[in-house]
Structure 1
């Protein structure tokens, strides 16, 4: 009888320990991610070719033409310092984060990547001055900045930031990470 009772108690003990383990939510500071600050997650290099011809005038004999190339490095990302109280919520082992909109974090036109590919001056014309070349480079920069709207750099930055934050919070112990991208409010121009 004692043997049967012992087996019965052992089987109850074994069966009761076979339940699903409940995980406690992580106890870390969920706003610790703000300490990262500016998170640049996407970089594009955009090239531009500038072709200019000086318009002929009746008093100018000959013509001037120039072909220049330049490149700009553009970085985009999310400023995690802009996360406000209430943008992160926890429900058990699920964390939801509302990210601020992605923005351009860096725009660099390296002078080493700017080249005069061709310069043609004929007749009694003078060559292009450094001031003129600088003015054309400023026009190229404005053109690249306007062409950025046609790229997906901001979308890539948001996606990469979401991937980073998902990994970050999974390392903290959260099982499910939901990232919501906040859209930038329309600005009156």
Structure 2
């Protein structure tokens, strides 16, 4: 009789752990939208168009300078959290969260402002609209490829950790360990992909 009672207790403890894990995963997934950070990146766009005579003699240069901004929203897609990423031992919980990734990247033209003091056309050498578009496209690629060197991953992980620690403490957990899977923040754009 005692054996049967012990087996029933062990089964009920194990099943309650599984239920806790499912509950925790559900609560974390609901908080997914809160695990994001937004960054505004200022970028100076600079370009030079050189005019040459017979491709050898440099005649003059037309210069272009503008100010621009990119808006980057990064986060952890908590919808990708799986039950096996959660380990519960009594009042202790360990989480292995999905990697930080860029959720939205925008480089809106309304934040483009040409600097008229430095931007100059030269004799028979003007910066065309196509030239400007190329300079802005190069600047956008530079921003995207530089994101991994900025503090975006660390800042987003810190915010996510704080938010989840608060959530998990309200669920009664006293020891909380949070780690992140490795992943690519944003796919890098190679020069050959844009036909440079």
Q: Fold match, TM over 0.5?
A: yes
In the other structure, the counterpart of 1:121 is 121
2:34 is the alignment partner of 1:43: no
In the other structure, the counterpart of 1:143 is 142
Match 1:84 to one of 79, 82, 86: 82
Q: Does the 8 Å CA contact 1:61/1:124 hold for their aligned counterparts?
A: no
Distance apart, 1:120 and its partner CA: 0.9
The 1-side partners of 2:62 and 2:35 are apart by 42
1:69/1:99 Cα in 2 relative to 1: closer, same or farther (>3 Å)?
same
- Gapped regions of structure 2 (runs ≥ 5): 1-16, 191-196
In the other structure, the counterpart of 1:173 is 172
Larger of the two Rg values belongs to structure: 1
Match 1:30 to one of 24, 28, 31: 24
- Gapped regions of structure 1 (runs ≥ 5): 1-24
Distance apart, 1:47 and its partner CA: 1.5
TM-score by length of 2: 0.73
Distance apart, 1:94 and its partner CA: 1.4
The 2-side partners of 1:46 and 1:40 are apart by 20
CA-atom RMSD, angstroms? 2.7
1:85/1:40 Cα in 2 relative to 1: closer, same or farther (>3 Å)?
closer
Q: Does the 8 Å CA contact 2:38/2:72 hold for their aligned counterparts?
A: yes
Q: Does the 8 Å CA contact 2:100/2:157 hold for their aligned counterparts?
A: yes
Q: Where in structure 2 are the equivalents of 1:152-171 lying within 5 Å?
A: 152-171=151-170
Residue deviations 1:120-143 (CA, integer Å, cap 9, x gap) = 113233x32322211211100011
Residue deviations 1:10-34 (CA, integer Å, cap 9, x gap) = xxxxxxxxxxxxxxx9968111112
Q: Does the 8 Å CA contact 2:35/2:163 hold for their aligned counterparts?
A: no
2:132 is the alignment partner of 1:133: yes
* SS of alignment partner, residue 146 of structure 1: helix
Distance apart, 1:62 and its partner CA: 4.8
